[in-house]
Amino acid sequence: MSKHRQPAPATASPDEDLGVLLAACCERVIRTVLAPLGPAGYGHLTSTQAITLLFIGRGINTVTQLAERAGLTTQAMSKTCAALQADGLLDRQPYAGDARSRRLALTAEGHRLHDLLSQAGADAERAWTDLVGAQALQTVRAALAAFAHSPEPAAPATPVRIRFT
């Protein structure tokens, strides 16, 4: 039996709100991903800073790209990156193609923390797989990806940002 195995939960009611379920799942996964921050000496990082570090480690390397991906303004993302740089987790490097632009890269410590957060994410996914099975989780992943990447009928009047604090 896996160390992640837990008793099967009661079956969700067909009337249970999908948005509330998705938010609860997202919060649980994020909590698991952020759990290594404290023991690694980075308990002061916000969820936005930690997720930004993951994005940079996965190849998103400009403030503009990060802001678009995170749903933040470039000014807010620039502040987030400045905090990560002050903590010694990322460097801003000149970009040869555009003197105004800077590429972001993780430092050795940033890579170490990225690896810890990535492993925590894999642990969260493994726990979910243990709970519902690999096929069910693959079906959920495909459904979430289809919805997340489908065009929205209209842009929301007010930007919505979920915070996990």
> Is 6 domain-assigned?
no
- What percent of the chain lies above the pLDDT cut of 90? 65
- 128 domain residue, yes or no: yes
pTM: 0.78
Alpha-carbon dihedral angle through residues 66, 72, 76, 82, given to the nearest 10 degrees: -20
Q: What is the pLDDT of residue 142?
A: 96
The answer to whether residue 37 is domain-embedded is yes
Dihedral (Cα; 112, 43, 124, 121), 10-degree rounding: -30
Q: Please give the structure tokens belonging to residue 115.
A: 């690896």
CATH number at residue 25: 1.10.10.10
Please state which of the ranges 6-10, 31-35, 128-132, 152-156 shows the lowest mean pLDDT.
Answer: 6-10
pLDDT at 160: 65
Residues contacting 72, CB < 8 A, separation 6+? 48, 66, 80, 161
